[in-house]
Chains A and B, each alone.
Chain A
Amino acid sequence: MRQVLVLFIVCVLSAFLLSFVYGKTAPLIEENAKKKIEASLKEVFPGEVEFKEIEPGKLWEVYRNGSLAGFVYIHGERGYSSVVRAMVGVDLEGKIVGMKVPKEGLSETPGLGMKVTEPWFSRQFIGKYAEDVKLKKDGGDLDAITAATISSRACVNAVKNGYIELVKKRLPWWMKYIREFAKEYGIEEVEPGKKWKVKDKGLLYLGEAEGFGGKVQVLVLVNDKGKIEWIHIQRPEEGLPETKGYGTEVATQEYEQGFIGKSAANPDVDVLTGASVTSRAVIEAVKEGYKGGE
């Protein structure tokens, strides 16, 4: 009986000591792990940025000066003899700012498939739209690794599918319009998430103002004479926080028509009856975004 008591006391003492040490060290250990991940994330999204984990091990939001600047995601696709994982940093347009294939857990053919980890291969991805990456032999413009097509293609698919599955649905509503302008005319970023220059057309900007139920956003294209050529008011399904049936009546093509040709600095547009707060918000948003001109 006494023996079991001794055993029991030893166990209890041990458990106490251990939980004490654990309590002291666990936070430090977590911090170390976090720092390591941050270092990794910085490799694919450099700059003065902060990361916020959205889906552990899969998706992070990237913030610059407090506002969303992009995403980092990790996604894998089956390669030749292992899963090829790509860690990708994309900006809000879906353009790749950094990419790397971590060596841990990668088991492709040494000297061939393993080359996907080499910097020259990942460097190719920078500047391309994550959704459109393709190997040259599949109709795109990325070089595959000679004699390692399967591994290369797996990497490309990892970048593309990861984007589609994790990032695409989180992109701001206006992204698809930016992409369309980019495809049709070609654009240049002037201020990330705020202003773009559209080739031969003028300045495209995102304006914002306080509406009835929250912030109302508009996307406006002005020509170099300061006149509005195109405008899109945020729709309810795109996140417009206004009252259904009232404020939402502002977010229509008819109301948008009223802005065409008007001056962006001070659009002379009628306020919609029954939705004055929202209309005024839209007008304010047009002015707000244009402030400062080019």
Chain B
Amino acid sequence: MDLFLLFLAAFLVNNIVLLRFLGLCPFFGVSSKLETAIGMSMAVIFVMTLSSIITWLLYNYILVPLHLVYLRTATFILVIASLVQFTELFLKKSAPALYKALGIFLPLITTNCAILGVAFLNIDYGHSIIQTIVYAIGVALGFMLALVLMAGIRERIEFAPIPKPFRGLPIAFILASLMALAFLGFVGLFGLSL
């Protein structure tokens, strides 16, 4: 039950993009088309889960016992960058179609602050390895949810008469504002809070 609540909190109540402000750059950069949104989300789910596990192991079994906690930031980001490189190479070889579909988004994931953010949060919240996995998957799916919803709306809104200064990004931000407002409604679900 606790794990389910953890998942729910990560997925909805504390949605990483809309309520915790992580992962915004790709959120606005990639959500103009539904297809690309889905592609990016899949990549994020994969990288986020894997990097959370690896950084958790790195932190708890190497950094802490060796009193090297202050190297946390540097090592985590290097792990993520390496993971992304590795994923790129791996996909290129084994699933070239998928690799092509993801295109530029794969390297972009390195700077997705949500990935590094979640790695840090797992440590700060003192998650166990199981909780880490559940949390990472929950957050990634929450990212996907927000991204897909946003893309869906943005595709439609292209045909609306938007005032010139607002076209493109500003209107997307207004959309995000409304979505965040809606998601705030999830606060209190099963007693979960922000």
A contacting B, Cβ–Cβ less than 8 Å: yes
The yes or no answer to B108 lying at the interface (CB within 8 A) is: no
Could you say which of B70, B71, B191 contacts A107, with CB atoms under 8 Å apart?
Answer: B191
Q: How far is the CB of A281 from chain B (nearest CB, A)?
A: 49
How many contacting A-B pairs (Cβ < 8 A)?
19
Q: Number of B residues contacting the other chain (C-beta, 8 Å)?
A: 8
Docked Cα-Cα span, A33 to B118, in Å, equals 24
Q: How far is the CB of B76 from chain A (nearest CB, A)?
A: 14
In the complex the two chains form, is A109's CB within 8 Å of B191's CB?
A: yes
Could you say which of B71, B190, B193 contacts A18, with CB atoms under 8 Å apart?
Answer: B71
Q: Which residues of B are interface residues toward A (Cβ below 8 A)?
A: 70-71, 74, 188, 190-193
Residues of B within 8 A of A19 (CB): 70
In the complex the two chains form, is B74's CB within 8 Å of A14's CB?
A: yes
Considering the complex, give the chain A residue whose CB is closest to the CB of B74. Answer: A14
The yes or no answer to A82 lying at the interface (CB within 8 A) is: yes
Between A and B, 19 residue pairs with Cβ closer than 8 Å are A14-B74, A15-B71, A18-B70, A18-B71, A18-B74, A19-B70, A21-B70, A22-B70, A80-B191, A81-B190, A81-B191, A82-B191, A107-B191, A107-B192, A107-B193, A108-B191, A109-B191, A110-B188, A110-B193
* 6 shortest interchain CB distances as A-B pairs: A81-B191, A22-B70, A18-B70, A107-B193, A107-B191, A109-B191
Residues of B within 8 A of A22 (CB): 70
Residues of B within 8 A of A15 (CB): 71
Residues of B within 8 A of A108 (CB): 191
Q: How far is the CB of B186 from chain A (nearest CB, A)?
A: 14
Given known contacts A107-B192, A110-B193, what 8 new A-B pairs fall within 8 Å (CB)? A14-B74, A18-B71, A80-B191, A81-B190, A81-B191, A107-B191, A107-B193, A109-B191
